[in-house]
């Protein structure tokens, strides 16, 4: 019985031995496969870098039994060198192609990035323009209040007739019917009319509230280009409508302090305009024609490019303004402050009382029709002459220093 049965320990040992043999066999097969791969890689490398011609020429060179000086030996050397040159040439071309590939890909990537940047910039421009349009739409809601105020101005004037609801100047405060403007002063806007109309306090308060609500904003001009400086066309419309209606603007400006700064008054035409004590800083008067009284007005940082101004511009502040190609013909400029302004190409023919002006760092290059002695006086009092735009811009950026 014991002889017919195998010991369990022997069975386990036999199983382990079989497993070890199987492992050794697989390991041997792995090493043989690895050797085969190295051989294949070597053949491929020799074929790629040496080539069959160079390989054959090399073998023939080292196995050639002909004498070194013989013709056959020289031919073997020639074949070897020719194969070597061809191989290096092919490797060089291959290496150049491989080296150029990243450069070509880089150029393509730069082109794609450039196109992407253009699309992003275009998208940004569209979003900005859309925001401008939305802002313009929001501001347009105030047009209803503007229209209502203009209608109420007409109603007050119609109700007062030509007796006028209330008329006064800085020297007269009586209510309507107690005096007439003709007893105090003639109407500056039209000496043939009854006078300037003073609005009721309630309506004046509505106008002050509206002008505070009409904040400047950037909008798209007629050429489809967003303007650079925030402006309020609604303020400009209200301002010109009140002037044309014969409202006593001097009373509103001086006693109430209404603010029309940042108004868009480009291309307007105003005759006998009453702008005394007006607050019109940062406004746009480009291509405008305005003739009247500007005494004590605040007109700093305004754009008067190609504008025509006439009348009394006395005791006012017009600093940091753009007067390029503007016309200031026959203006009275008593104590006017034009410091830091650009007057290049402006026409100042027959200006009066200019010797009391302030012209600190005012650019008077190419100013036309200067009165006799004006240039010398201006330069002595701080004016400069900088014809080139780049020179003037650098002068401004450098803190008004050359």
Interval 269-295: pLDDT, tens? 998 898 999 999 999 999 999 999 999
Q: Please give the torsion angle defined by the CA atoms of residues 294, 306, 371 and 298, in that order, rounded to the nearest 10 degrees.
A: 30
How much is the average pLDDT of 122-127? 73
| Radius of gyration of the CA atoms of the chain, in A | 46
How far apart CA 238 and CA 264 sit, in angstroms, is: 10
Relative orientation angle of helices 143-160 and 233-244, to the nearest 10 degrees: 10
Q: Which residue has the higher pLDDT, 107 or 283?
A: 283
Q: How confident is the model at residue 373 (pLDDT cuts 50, 70, 90)?
A: very high
Q: How confident is the model at residue 192 (pLDDT cuts 50, 70, 90)?
A: very low
Find out whether 242 and 153 touch, Cβ atoms under 8 Å.
Answer: yes
Given a cut of 70, is residue 54 above it in pLDDT?
A: no
Token pair recorded at residue 2: 């014991």
How far apart CA 252 and CA 381 sit, in angstroms, is: 35
Phi and psi (nearest 5°) for 370? -70, 140
How much is the average pLDDT of 31-58? 66
How much is the average pLDDT of 4-15? 67
Find out whether 335 and 315 touch, Cβ atoms under 8 Å.
Answer: yes
How far apart CA 350 and CA 337 sit, in angstroms, is: 18
How much is the average pLDDT of 99-120? 80
Given a cut of 90, is residue 318 above it in pLDDT?
A: yes
Q: Which residue has the higher pLDDT, 348 or 31?
A: 348
How much is the average pLDDT of 106-130? 77
Given a cut of 50, is residue 2 above it in pLDDT?
A: no
Out of 158-172, 305-319, 366-380, which region has the weakest mean confidence (pLDDT)?
158-172
Q: Which residue has the higher pLDDT, 131 or 236?
A: 236
Phi and psi (nearest 5°) for 248? -75, 85
Domain locations along the chain: 7-140, 142-397
51-65, 125-139, 209-223, 230-244: which is most confident? 230-244
How much is the average pLDDT of 8-18? 74
- Degrees, nearest 5: CA angle 244-245-249: 85
How much is the average pLDDT of 194-218? 84
Q: How confident is the model at residue 138 (pLDDT cuts 50, 70, 90)?
A: low
Q: Count of CB atoms within 10 A of residue 3's CB? A: 5
112-116, 142-146, 265-269: which is most confident? 265-269
How much is the average pLDDT of 220-241? 85
Which residues lie closer than 8 Å to 129 by C-beta, 6 or more apart?
Answer: 220, 226
Q: How confident is the model at residue 26 (pLDDT cuts 50, 70, 90)?
A: confident
Q: How confident is the model at residue 162 (pLDDT cuts 50, 70, 90)?
A: very low
Out of 134-143, 146-155, 207-216, 358-367, which region has the weakest mean confidence (pLDDT)?
134-143
First to last CA, the chain: 123
Calculate the average pLDDT of the chain.
Answer: 79
List pLDDT tens digits, range 324-362. 999 999 999 999 999 999 999 999 999 999 999 999 999
How far apart CA 92 and CA 146 sit, in angstroms, is: 80
Q: Starting from the edge strand earliest in sequence, which strands make up the sheet with 308-312, in order? A: 269-274, 289-293, 308-312
pLDDT at 148: 87
Q: Which helix (H) or strand (E) holds 242?
A: helix 233-244
């Amino acid at each position: 019985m014991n002889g017919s049965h195998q010991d369990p320990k022997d069975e386990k040992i036999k199983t382990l031995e079989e497993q070890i043999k199987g492992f050794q066999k697989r390991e041997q097969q792995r090493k043989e496969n690895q050797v085969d791969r190295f051989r294949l890689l070597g053949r491929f490398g020799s074929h790629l870098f040496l080539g069959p011609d160079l390989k054959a020429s090399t073998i023939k060179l080292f196995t050639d039994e002909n004498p070194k000086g013989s013709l056959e030996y020289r031919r073997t050397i020639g074949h070897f060198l020719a194969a070597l040159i061809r191989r290096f040439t092919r490797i060089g071309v291959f290496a150049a192609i491989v080296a150029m590939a990243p450069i070509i890909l880089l150029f393509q990537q730069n082109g794609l990035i450039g196109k992407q940047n253009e699309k992003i910039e275009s998208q940004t421009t569209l979003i900005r323009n859309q925001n401008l349009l939305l802002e313009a739409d929001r501001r347009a809601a105030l047009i209803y209040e503007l229209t209502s105020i203009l209608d109420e101005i007409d109603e007050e004037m119609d109700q007062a007739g030509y007796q006028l609801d209330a008329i006064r100047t800085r020297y007269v405060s009586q209510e309507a019917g107690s005096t007439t403007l003709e007893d105090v002063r003639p109407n500056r806007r039209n000496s043939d009319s009854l006078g300037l109309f003073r609005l009721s306090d309630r309506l004046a308060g509505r106008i002050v509230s509206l002008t505070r609500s009409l904040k400047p904003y950037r909008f798209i001009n007629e050429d489809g280009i967003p303007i650079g400086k925030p402006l309020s066309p609604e303020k400009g419309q209200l301002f010109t409508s009140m002037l044309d209606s014969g409202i006593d603007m001097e009373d509103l400006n001086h006693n109430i302090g209404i603010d029309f700064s940042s108004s868009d008054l480009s291309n307007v035409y105003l005759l006998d305009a009453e702008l005394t004590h007006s607050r019109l800083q940062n406004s746009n008067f480009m291509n405008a024609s305005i003739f009247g009284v500007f005494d004590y007005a605040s007109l700093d940082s305004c754009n008067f490019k190609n504008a025509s101004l006439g009348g009394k511009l006395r005791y006012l502040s017009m600093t940091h303004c753009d007067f390029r190609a503007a016309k200031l013909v026959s203006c009275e400029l008593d104590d006017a402050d034009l410091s830091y302004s650009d007057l290049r190409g402006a026409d100042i023919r027959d200006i009066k009382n200019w010797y009391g002006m302030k012209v600190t760092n005012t650019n008077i290059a190419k100013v036309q029709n200067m009165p006799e002695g004006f240039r010398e006086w201006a330069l002595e009092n701080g004016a400069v002459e900088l014809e080139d735009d780049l020179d003037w811009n650098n002068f401004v950026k450098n803190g008004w220093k050359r």
